[in-house]
Amino acid sequence: MMNTIKWPGQQELQAWRHDFHRHPETAFQEHRTSARVAELLKGFGLEVHTGLAGTGVVAVLRGSLGPGPSIGLRADMDALHVTELNRCEHASTYAGRMHACGHDGHTSMLLGAAQALASAPDFAGTVHFIFQPAEENEGGARAMIEEGLFQRFPMDAVYSMHNWPGLPVGTAAVHSTAVMAAFDIFDLTLTGKGCHAAMPHLGKDALLAACQLVTQLPALVAREQEVHKPAVLSVTSFNAGDTYNVMPEVIKLRGTVRCFDMPQRARIEQRFRDAIAATCALHGLEAQLDYRVSYPATVNNPRHAEVCAEVLTRVLGEGKVRRDMVPSMASEDFAFMAQECPGVYIWLGNGEDSASLHNPKYDFNDASLPLGMRYWVELVGALLKDGRLPV
């Protein structure tokens, strides 16, 4: 298989990536990106389907060795509402938007794999190349599933990857089970009674209550949850008042809750609601809570994870694949896909000196492009070589 493949070169991969980076598009607005992806895939000779979840693209490649299992390889396409501070030649040309999470690289690596595999589809079965919109907060994976992704394109397993700052280029990490945390968000509005700051006894102090909640809510994790089950509750936004001598009537808080264990997730939410109710009763306030259960935890299938680790070792070399990394409390909507069929989500090193994800100085490391592409191609060979998936 490897001897007959026509590999896209570094310059071609890099040109695609830089083009996507210059033209970042955010959730469900990836119109240019989607059109360019579809154009390239059609040029490779693949069967291309567009419009799933608005801007999603799925390309189908059937192996030349006959029928067999069906797998999905997924890349995300969307950018973030971040103003880029890099001064590189391929910096964003769209004000207030940038590829600060490396989805431009993910898309380019999967395109390279699609081109390579289309040149020599020596496997039994079917590969679906999934280019997903709106991974960042908006649940594009869920939207694709709701619009029939797995009904239109049945799959026995699905795989994805993400670049990882802090891991050296040429290394990777594979988790046997949990990879990324579940993710909930909340908007809380506290309403009291405003008054002059010199006469607080005439009001109902929503500001004081809000401050108490900011310090008390994290204790629901620190002091009530089992210590061997990681969880994070963070208040990330606090809006109150606009002058010196008025006690504000309305306070607005925002934040996130993250964990891996689903019963624990439900307990935290209930205790969260209990704490708000008790605080409001104490201070005579009204509360309006919008608590939204968002992404589930991303959990790998252990058997498939072993195959992915073996493939990565062949691509990167002995000692280059970490199996001991702690799962991240960040979240990923690939979790929705992994709930539908066996899935594996791996991390590919972006460099020890790389800026962190979502940082305005972040940039995907082009040296990783051929490595990610080769991983995808080798993975297809490992999974579909004999026309059957690992059991």
Classify the C-alpha dihedral 325-327-331-332 as positive or negative: positive
Write down the architecture of domain 183-295 according to CATH. 2-Layer Sandwich (3.30)
The domain spans of the chain are: 10-180+297-384, 183-295
* CB burial string 178-190: b at 16+ within 10 A, e below: bbbbbbbbbebbb
For residue 344, the model assigns a pLDDT of 98
Active-site pick, 76, 78, 104, 261: 78
Dmax over CA atoms of the chain, in Å, equals: 82
For residue 1, the model assigns a pLDDT of 42
For residue 40, the model assigns a pLDDT of 98
Amino acid at 19: D
Q: How far is Cα 143 from Cα 274, in angstroms, rounded to an integer?
A: 32
Tokens 């210059």 label which residue? 22
The whole-model pTM stands at: 0.92
Whether 128 and 72 have beta carbons less than 8 Å apart is answered as: yes
Active site residue 76: no
For residue 391, the model assigns a pLDDT of 65
What are the residue ranges in the chain where pLDDT is below 70? 1-3, 391
Exposed (0-12), middle (13-18) or buried (19+): which is 339, by Cβ within 10 Å? middle
Whether 197 and 244 have beta carbons less than 8 Å apart is answered as: yes
For 10-180+297-384, give the CATH class: alpha beta
Q: How far is Cα 145 from Cα 295, in angstroms, rounded to an integer?
A: 14
Question: Average model confidence (pLDDT) for the chain?
Answer: 95
pLDDT in tens, 50-66: 999 999 999 999 999 99
Active-site pick, 135, 136, 184, 332: 135
Active site residue 226: no
